[in-house]
Structure 1
Amino acid sequence: MPNPGPSAKDRKTVAEGLSKVLADSYAVYLKTHGYHWNVSGPNFSQFHALFMPQYTEMWTAIDEVAERIRALGELAPQGYGAFGNLSSIKDGDPTKDATAMIKDLIESHESLIGTLYGVLPTAQEAGDEVTASLISDRLTAHEKHVWMLRASL
């Protein structure tokens, strides 16, 4: 007999986890884009160019996460208030020097990676292979972003 997918209760639980992923993702996206605008110093060109593909990739992924929440039958959170209540990732500080910005982004990505690893077992236990695959893709992307940021220090 084919797997019918996650139950209604499981879909709600998975969507709640994805809502935190969405909020954390949006926070890291905003921070990365802001640092792209505000980075300065002798390595400006390098960091400005490094941040652009990262925030561009995250922008697309944010939509995919929100649409997965909708596909699970729940409303995706929206707005700064909703995201602020769901995420512990703090806003970026445009006065930081380039090295501090990179370190802040690494820490923020690592926090998001922790959120993703926290939601993954929920999706797997619910038999939600689509969400598990999405989370796996996001882990691959954020771990690569962290690697590239660390390599730039």
Structure 2
Amino acid sequence: MTQTAATLTTNAQAEIVNGLNQCVAETAVTTMLAQNFHWNVTGMAFGPLHDLFQQIYEDHFVAQDDLAERAKALHGHAEGTLGGMLKRSKVTEVEGVPAAEDMIRLMMEAQNTVASSLAETGSLAADHGDTLTEDLCIARGQTHEKFAWLLRAHIS
């Protein structure tokens, strides 16, 4: 049976919100990673990588809001601190300025990590009948997998 924010149990809401906050945290850290790489990429592929990293951080900035607002719609708390996001995220910050090929690999790994967390949260939402969260997670997961493919094409 399809559930809405108003009909989900309190426990279901809390579980889904926890998953959404995982996705928000990883998306936020990946946003900053992409912006860092956008600012600092150099080399023969500067132009296309500079543009791709910008596409990624602009997309992810909007996505953070969509995911956080869904958590709020489920009567939850949206993680809004950088420290909290860094503690929660499986995507980590990068020290220094990696070479362009390393930036690509790191960003591809980050995209796959976020896609995986979105798939897990989408499955959890589906288990509880929350098709709205499931649909959001599916759409976001597809976007992250597309970015991973675009990045992989630069090094394969």
TM over 0.5: yes
Counterpart of 1:41? 43
Asked whether 1:73 is paired with 2:75, we answer yes
Asked whether 1:112 is paired with 2:128, we answer no
How far does residue 124 in structure 1 lie from its aligned partner after superposition?
Answer: 0.3
Q: Percent identity?
A: 27
Unaligned runs of 5+ in 1: none
How far does residue 2 in structure 1 lie from its aligned partner after superposition?
Answer: 7.6
Name the Cα RMSD after superposition.
Answer: 1.6
Aligned residues: 153
Counterpart contact for 2:111–2:144, Cα < 8 Å: yes
Counterpart contact for 1:32–1:51, Cα < 8 Å: yes
Counterpart contact for 2:3–2:130, Cα < 8 Å: no
Moved more, 110-119 or 71-80: 110-119
Amino acid at match of 1:31: L
Q: How big is each residue's C-alpha offset from its partner over 1:102-124, in whole Å with a ceiling of 9 and x where there is no partner? A: 00001111111221122122100
Counterpart of 2:93? 91
Counterpart contact for 1:35–1:94, Cα < 8 Å: no
Q: Aligned equivalents of 2:142 and 2:101: distance in 1?
A: 24
Counterpart of 1:9? 11
How far does residue 94 in structure 1 lie from its aligned partner after superposition?
Answer: 4.3
Moved more, 35-44 or 84-93: 84-93
Counterpart contact for 1:34–1:94, Cα < 8 Å: no
Moved more, 40-49 or 68-77: 40-49
Write out the 4+ residue segments of structure 1 that deviate beyond 6 Å after TM superposition: none
Amino acid at match of 1:141: T
Counterpart of 1:31? 33
Alignment CA distance shift 1:151-1:72 (3 Å): same
Q: Aligned equivalents of 1:49 and 1:83: distance in 2?
A: 26
Q: Aligned equivalents of 1:43 and 1:106: distance in 2?
A: 16
How far does residue 89 in structure 1 lie from its aligned partner after superposition?
Answer: 1.2
How far does residue 8 in structure 1 lie from its aligned partner after superposition?
Answer: 1.9
Amino acid at match of 2:73: A
Q: Aligned equivalents of 1:2 and 1:44: distance in 2?
A: 47
2:48 is paired with a residue of what secondary structure?
helix
Alignment CA distance shift 1:37-1:94 (3 Å): farther
Amino acid at match of 1:49: D
